[in-house]
Amino acid sequence: FFQKVLTAIQNWFSLFGWSKGPNPVSIPYSLRRDMYKVQLTSSELFKQKLGKDTVYDMLLHLSGQLLPGVTSNQTLSVNPIRGILQLCWQHSALLTFLESQGAYLPYVMPEFLLEPDDYRKWITAETFLKVVCDVMNLKIWNDLHLFMLEKSVFEKMSKRAWTDLLLQAYKVLVLPRVSSHNISDPYGLEGMQSVPRIKSEPLSSNIYSTHERIILTWLNKHYEKNRKIVWKDCQKGEIPPMRWIINFDRDLLDGLVLAAQLAAYCPYLIATHFVRMYTTPETPEQCLHNCLIFVDAMHAVSLAIDVKV
């Protein structure tokens, strides 16, 4: 499951996360590697990455805001230790910015976003500073807790941290664009009165956000409105029964709900694609058959977003 989530995140941010068009994202490797916008030096520790976009460019594109104290073309210090400390500070600013937008990342420490070698150098530098402060009886580092992780453990933690960071960035920067202002009340439509209402109030769910519940309402609206139209002449079954769509995984597995959404905007796909779908799929193979047809329909209307069935 985690790998499927990771793949979906990488695909979305690769395609839509950048202002200049698609840019491959590999979590955590490309996000960590492309941080190094530094001046070219003789040191092999740093590489010039002036032509690469960073996660800060991504956030600027998605939010329209620069991180406080961080510019899109900012370079790191040519001093290796100072560069790592500066990068760690920038990561801290990144986390603070996302949390100010509503993100929830309590376990993600700035150092978890570093490269493995930089993480070890950061640990060394922080340990030295703590020792100096202890010797000088300074109180500012007394509460410092260093997570000294083995390389393999750090890699797992870093991948999880970057994954959750992008998930939260999507949640607080992309999902809020969903609005119900242009959607008429679906429960006033014929046939929708018998479908349970999904409340959009912020406190009505501890699982889905207001924006996610708006999407669920939209899915219910188009499925109920179009199921009798799309599959009235179905080749592989009768008109599918009414259903209440309350999640984004199990209720979408058979492809019917997604097909109903696409048919609402591209009705010509009904005769060419959707009439060949199983309306009451009973096996994984039949669900796969439906999903392959749906992906083919997406390609037919140039929605080629690298969806894997």
pLDDT of 192 strictly over 60: no
pLDDT of 45: 41
pLDDT of 43: 45
Rounded distance, CA 211 to CA 168, Å? 14
pLDDT of 126: 76
Percent of the chain whose predicted confidence (pLDDT) is above 90 = 39
pLDDT of 72 strictly over 80: no
Q: Tokens standing for 125?
A: 């530098």
Rounded distance, CA 135 to CA 156, Å? 35
Range in 29-43, 83-97, 228-242 with the lowest mean pLDDT: 29-43
Q: Where are the domains of the chain?
A: 2-177, 186-300
Residue (of 287, 271, 267) closest to 279 by Cα position: 287
Which pLDDT tens digit goes with each residue over 99-130? 999 899 998 999 999 999 888 888 887 776 66
Regarding predicted confidence, which is higher, 209 or 162?
162
- Spatial contact of 138 and 130, defined as CB atoms under 8 Å apart: no
Range in 17-21, 79-83, 127-131, 255-259 with the lowest mean pLDDT: 127-131
pTM: 0.76
- Spatial contact of 72 and 153, defined as CB atoms under 8 Å apart: no
